A and B are shown apart, each in its own frame.
Chain A
Amino acid sequence: MKRIDEIIARPLLAAIAFSALASLLLIAVFILKEGLPFMARIGFRDFLGSSDWQPQEGHFGIFPMIVASLGVTLGAMAIGAPLGIAGAIFLCEFVPRPVMRTVKPAIELLAGIPSVVFGFLGVMVLAPLVRTHFGGPGLSLLTAAIILGIMVLPTVTSISADAIMAVPGAFREGALALGATRWQSVYMVILKAARSGIIASVILAMGRAIGETMAVIMVAGNTVRVPHSALDPVCTLTAKIAMEMASASGLHRQSLFAIGVVLFVVIMILNALAMTAIRSRKGASS
């Protein structure tokens, strides 16, 4: 006879296995439930396209926040992606393996530093530098982009490095045997073979940058206006939610959930893109 724990183990574990998926759906449902009716009521075009954010007067236009989030994220990628990918190439191809095995985890430690600490250092160290060297108030789109660029480094470097290391050794040896220098083998062969993994790392980093809240809230200046230059203070989607959540109620609170809906949709699209890129790499190497 089968023991009782044996009988219940499989269905119980199968049920548990859906916990992550169920959580994701629950999050989606609750954010949509609060946010979508609001969007429908205000009108999608007014919500996404208007620059007028005055919750007390009933104006809910998030266009400046969309521009700010995009600007900050693209700026962060302009800084973080080349630097992070360069680091990954150097560690995988031009440094002895033991050095790489020490330095890569060290860079991954960057990911463990709490985002509030990045934000605080941005205020104390970076903002004054930006103010004196470039002008403007210091708390600006540029400052936020630099801080986010640093914060995404571990994501870009770590995942890119994994992709580069997954390139079969024969590719490398083949290139070298044909007389290529090490660098030629890297940019002509290895980077092409690892391309989808590297792209995935950048997309995941974008998701992280666009969703980052606490660091951005501290350094971006939080002015709701479409920025004219990188030195203008901006307010991102995430910052708006976090700043007004504590005091908001009624329609105002729903509007913050509606911003959450926009964020959720953008991030799910980025996730799906990254996963497709990673899967295409797996497909290509097998």
Chain B
Amino acid sequence: MRLLSPKQAQRMAIGILGLATFAILSVLVFIIGFVLNKGLPVVSWAFLSEAPSDMGRAGGIFPILITTLLLPLLALAVAMPLGVGTAVYLAEYTRETRMTRIIRFGTDCLAGVPSILFGLFGFIFFVVMLGFGWSLLSGSLTLAIMVLPTLIRTSEEAIRTVPDAYREVSCSMGATRWQTVWRVILPNALPGIATGVMLSIGRCIGETAAVIFTAGSVLGRHVPSSLFDSSRTMAVHFYLLAREGISNEYAYGTAAVMILAVLMVNLVAYWMMHAFIRRRAR
């Protein structure tokens, strides 16, 4: 005799699977809730706008906030032309060949490289060999390589969703391939590309291991004034505050600002992708 009838088995399976899903969501809600609950009381206008003092035990996080903004923007300034260029080449200038398979394979592998290895590489290549030192430049170049796979993938997908009719009309009016890409395809793929950009910014904001060995962790009272200045991002600041037990209170405050920033960036990315897909579907 069977232990359970198919109906009972189904009921039990749904119960267990539902419980698992509930557990995943509760962890998510707990993490965000816990950090915001502990951190938001610390966050004030002064916290956001003042320079840190006493190793981060007092004052605010203003220069850190600016570095957290600068580093992803610099990284994207480098990665965007490379990422979008690769995507344009893969989607518009070539067919699937052995070459594109190798390019894709490289991109997928790069996406799987853990951030500590980006940190090691950035340190030995940009900091030591090219002599950039611990600086915004070393940090942003390392991050640029790290976000490249994300940019390539999202941009290629965005370009591929532009309907063929657009290309045909453009070409039939005498436009060259590059004119078609530049004036027709890229503007129409822009929301999709922007999704990749936002996801990349989110990854940069939360990144620690790749940044701490390349951009360094100097806690300055002033906003970094040159590309060769070392400075710390929120993630690095948070890590040092928490790990060295400097100030749990300020650590939570920094974490709250960081989590809000990451959530906002990711939500915007998701919303843009959604709007983009819906417009295409019409």
Contact = CB atoms under 8 A, between A and B. Distances in A.
Interface in A228-281: 238, 241-242, 245-246, 256-257, 260, 263-264, 267-268, 270-271, 274-275
Contacts of A112: 202-203, 206, 262-263, 265-266
Contacts of B89: 13-14, 16-17
A90 B20 contact: yes
B93 A242 contact: no
Given A6-B178, A112-B206, A256-B120, A20 B148 contact: yes
A57 interface: no
Contact of B20 (A27, A86, A114): A86
A115 B206 contact: yes
Nearest to B34: A121
* Residue among A3, A14, A19, A211 with most chain B CB within 10 A: A19
A106 B109 CA distance: 26
* Residue among B18, B23, B113, B239 with most chain A CB within 10 A: B113
A20 B107 contact: yes
Given A20-B103, A267-B112, A267-B113, A90 B18 contact: yes
Contact of B114 (A30, A150, A212): A212
A41 interface: no
A110 interface: yes
A20 B14 contact: no
Contacts, number: 246
Nearest to A23: B145
B10 A183 contact: yes
Contact of B13 (A6, A16, A183): A183
Interface string A1-40: 0110110011011101111110111110011001000000
B25 A107 contact: yes
Interface stretch (B69-77, B188-196, B220-228, B251-259): B251-259
Interface of A: 2-3, 5-6, 9-10, 12-14, 16-21, 23-27, 30-31, 34, 82-84, 86-87, 89-91, 94, 103, 105-107, 109-110, 112-121, 123-125, 150, 153, 157, 180-184, 186-187, 204, 207-208, 210-214, 217-218, 238, 241-242, 245-246, 256-257, 260, 263-264, 267-268, 270-271, 274-275
